[in-house]
């Protein structure tokens, strides 16, 4: 399959591009910056520019739209919102005009409101599944939700079939201990619902989504099988969310994100846990 991956020079995009290459896809990456060491063809473009997007997103079988600013922090909210919504609109529109039949969109579990809420979001129940209400408060989560809705509008008018993939914090063995490690000791970790996703598992999830045979817009939730915490999950939930009901038992360190729907629809099965990541060397 000839597949475009936008944002292929970034953290998630390069794992998606690698997974697709390994499965035999002919990958064209489009990004504002060139990849470091990528084995796929690359085109440099700012996808907020509709003309550039229309010229590059064509003559392909599938588009995977990953490019975005991946958080609302460190930049003006307006820039995050404008970039993410404009790129989603332009890439969807270009794919539709070019008659590209398959579309996969990198969404986020931030559409539920976590982890960037200003007014605390209490889960209505745990584990979180696709029946959890949408409720972004911040410009990033809102942009990811509107991205799904832009995809939905194109599917509604028959442009293509699509899968939108909601994901928690993406991690690698290189990022985990520095990125997540210190946060585990703070109350802030509850904002993430202690959830993460190994970038290699994310890559496999995107590959599976491209193979999905449905003819509509499927929205799925991915995540690792476990939390990033060292306290067992049911005890953690009782301590942090004493009023929140568990809709089913959660064994051991099991995740509070329910990915059964992703397993049933696209065959997603996470293989990697931070518990097997090599521990960083410490001095002394
Ligand atoms: N990192 C996470 O924890 C996480 C979690 C859930 C969802 N996501 C989503 O996954 C996607 C990728 O996130 P990431 O962590 O890999 O981010 P990243 O910043 O590492 O990669 C994003 C890539 O998009 C490119 N990009 C940004 N604006 C662009 C534009 N206007 N035109 C062309 N390219 C542009 C960047 O240059 C970058 O290479 C995003 O859509 C993000 O919302 C990320």
On whether residue 120 sits in a domain, the answer given is yes
Structural domains in the chain (count): 1
Predicted local confidence at residue 284, as pLDDT: 45
As given in the structure block, the two tokens for residue 19 are 């997974």
Q: What is the pLDDT of residue 283?
A: 54
Yes or no: say if 53 and 90 are a contact pair by the CB < 8 Å rule. Answer: yes
Let me know if residue 251 belongs to a domain. Answer: no
Ligand 1: does its nearest atom lie under 6 Å from the Cβ of 13? Answer: yes
Q: Ligand 1 centre and the CA of 138: distance in Å?
A: 17
Closest CA to 66 of 98, 42, 91: 91
Query: HSE (CB half, 13 Å, CA atoms) of 181?
Result: 12
Per 3-state DSSP, the chain is made up of helix, strand and coil in percentages (nearest 5) of 40, 15, 45
Give the residue from 205, 200, 221 showing the smallest Cα distance to 144. Answer: 221
Count of CB atoms within 10 A of residue 116's CB?
A: 19
Mean pLDDT, 10 residues at a time, over the chain (284 residues)? 98 98 98 96 98 98 98 98 98 98 98 97 97 98 98 98 98 96 93 98 98 97 98 97 96 98 98 96 61
The atom of ligand 1 lying closest to the CA of 46 is 32
Does residue 232's CB lie within 6 angstroms of at least one atom of ligand 1?
no
* Residue 44 φ then ψ, to 5°: -90, 125
The domain of 17 spans 2-180+197-224+259-276
Domain holding 267: CATH number? 3.40.50.720
What pLDDT is attached to residue 180?
Answer: 94
Q: Which residue is closest in CA terms to ligand 1's atom 7? A: 108
- pLDDT attached to residue 35: 97
């Amino acid at each position: 399959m000839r597949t475009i991956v936008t944002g292929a020079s970034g953290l998630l995009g390069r794992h998606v591009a690698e997974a697709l290459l390994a499965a035999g896809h002919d990958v064209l990456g489009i990004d504002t910056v060139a990849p470091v060491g990528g084995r796929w063809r690359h085109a440099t473009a700012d996808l907020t520019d509709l003309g550039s997007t229309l010229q590059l997103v064509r003559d392909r079988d599938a588009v995977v739209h990953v490019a975005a600013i991946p958080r609302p922090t460190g930049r003006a909210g307006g820039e995050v919102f404008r970039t993410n919504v404009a790129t989603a609109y332009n890439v969807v529109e270009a794919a539709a005009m070019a008659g590209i039949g398959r579309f996969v969109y990198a969404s986020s579990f931030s559409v539920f409101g976590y982890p960037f809420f200003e007014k605390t979001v209490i889960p209505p129940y745990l584990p979180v599944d696709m029946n959890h209400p949408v409720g972004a408060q911040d410009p990033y989560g809102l942009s990811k939700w509107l991205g799904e809705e832009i995809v939905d509008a194109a599917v509604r008018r028959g442009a293509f079939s699509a899968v939108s993939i909601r994901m928690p914090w993406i991690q690698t063995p290189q990022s985990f201990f520095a990125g997540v490690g210190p946060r585990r000791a703070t109350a802030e970790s509850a904002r993430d619902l202690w959830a993460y996703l190994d970038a290699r598992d994310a890559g496999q999830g995107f590959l599976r989504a491209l193979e999905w045979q449905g003819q509509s817009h499927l929205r799925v939730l991915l995540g690792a099988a476990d939390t990033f915490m060292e306290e067992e999950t049911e005890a953690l939930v009782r301590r942090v969310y004493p009023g929140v009901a568990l809709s089913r038992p959660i064994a051991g360190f099991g995740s509070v994100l329910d990915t059964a729907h992703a397993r049933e629809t696209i065959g997603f099965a996470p293989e990697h846990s931070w518990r097997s990541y090599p521990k960083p060397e410490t001095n002394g």
